[in-house]
Structure 1
Amino acid sequence: MAISVIVLVTLYFLLPLERSSAGTAITTLVVGLVVFVALVAFQVRSVLRSPFAGLRAVEALTISVPFFLLLFAGTYVVMAKMSEGSFGVPLSHTEGLYFAVTVFATVGFGDLTAKSEAARLVVTGQMIADLVILGLAIKVTAGAVSRSRRPGDAPGA
């Protein structure tokens, strides 16, 4: 579980995002979101079939949420490199991740902001997806824990 997150973060920091084109950025985001949806669907099935559903749900979240955040962080870094006016400041890998996490956490310190229309649309997309992910995570985790506590519903019962 922790190894997966370490691998994802390491890959994110090693990727040469500053050399991406607009087409590559859009394709990467779309393909990444499709992979994310497939990952979540697989994980939901795993949670529902697991004898330790609550633990499996936590494990699923610790893989899928960092993947989601790093996907948007990478998109923000590429957008900032392609158009300097997209954000208030140029974004490094660290700043891209920081911005994605502040959007996810709905903190919004105001030190980094989306300035261009395209950047604002992508950030808006992330905010909507954040709400869906949080709602789904809460529902699946609570449902899995509840289900695992009912003796007749446990796998193999």
Structure 2
Amino acid sequence: MDRNPEGRRAAVLTAVSSLLMAAVLLAAYYLLPLDSAFTAATVLALIGGGVVVVLLLGWHVRAILRSRRPGLRALAALATAVPLFLLLFAATYYLLERSAPDSFSESMSRTDALYFTMTVFSTVGFGDISPRSEPARLLTTGQMTANLLLLGVAVRFLAGAVQEGRRLQDR
């Protein structure tokens, strides 16, 4: 991080805007009416949301390359894309549980679905909630795969964009 006041101000603004974005996404998760059934449309919406995350990260890579502070810009990208990614899965798990109550080892509220999503994302393993039905296991396996892609590929692209952005600044 820069040691000058402008750099500190940019870091604070990035942190505040990232926290606000995460708060808006979390509020939307809890406030949106998630009362539809889990259907093929739900799976398509999840895939569409994944495409939005990829497009968002692509847009951020371009912004990183043009930024005066590519490292901060990359952090902002992760602070937007990761919560969106996680909340998409939490909403999907919640809808699955509402449509097929025996899909998981216990019934899940929105908070429980978010907890389960974070459990899968952080790879700490299953404790009190685990997938029981085949659709729940497939969805959980899909999230595990997407987690690896997000953590491996997306972070690598962002890190590469930061390096390239800094290289362009040095010119």
CA distance in 1, matches of 2:158, 2:52: 21
**1:67 equivalenced with 2:84 (yes/no):** yes
CA distance in 2, matches of 1:35, 1:147: 24
Give the alignment's TM-score, normalised by structure 1: 0.89
CA distance in 1, matches of 2:30, 2:106: 19
- Give the structure 2 partner of residue 54 of structure 1: 71
C-alpha RMSD of matched pairs (Å) = 1.8
How far the C-alpha of 1:23 sits from its partner, in A, is: 3.9
- Give the structure 1 partner of residue 13 of structure 2: none
- Give the structure 1 partner of residue 157 of structure 2: 140
- Give the structure 1 partner of residue 49 of structure 2: 32
CA distance in 1, matches of 2:134, 2:53: 25
- Give the structure 2 partner of residue 110 of structure 1: 127
- Give the structure 2 partner of residue 95 of structure 1: 112
Question: What count of residue pairs does the alignment treat as equivalent?
Answer: 154
Give the alignment's TM-score, normalised by structure 2: 0.82
**1:154 equivalenced with 2:133 (yes/no):** no
- Give the structure 2 partner of residue 42 of structure 1: 59
CA distance in 2, matches of 1:27, 1:145: 32
Task: For residues 14-58 of structure 1, give each alpha carbon's deviation from its aligned partner in whole angstroms, at most 9, with x where no partner exists.
Answer: 122243342442232122112112111111221222221111000
Q: Percent identity?
A: 45
CA distance in 2, matches of 1:113, 1:17: 21
CA distance in 2, matches of 1:139, 1:50: 18
Task: For residues 121-147 of structure 1, give each alpha carbon's deviation from its aligned partner in whole angstroms, at most 9, with x where no partner exists.
Answer: 111111011011111343234324433
Match of 1:82 among 99, 102, 105: 99
CA distance in 1, matches of 2:153, 2:64: 13
Question: Bigger CA drift: 3-12 or 39-48?
Answer: 39-48
Change over 3 Å in CA distance of 1:145–1:41 after alignment to 2 = closer
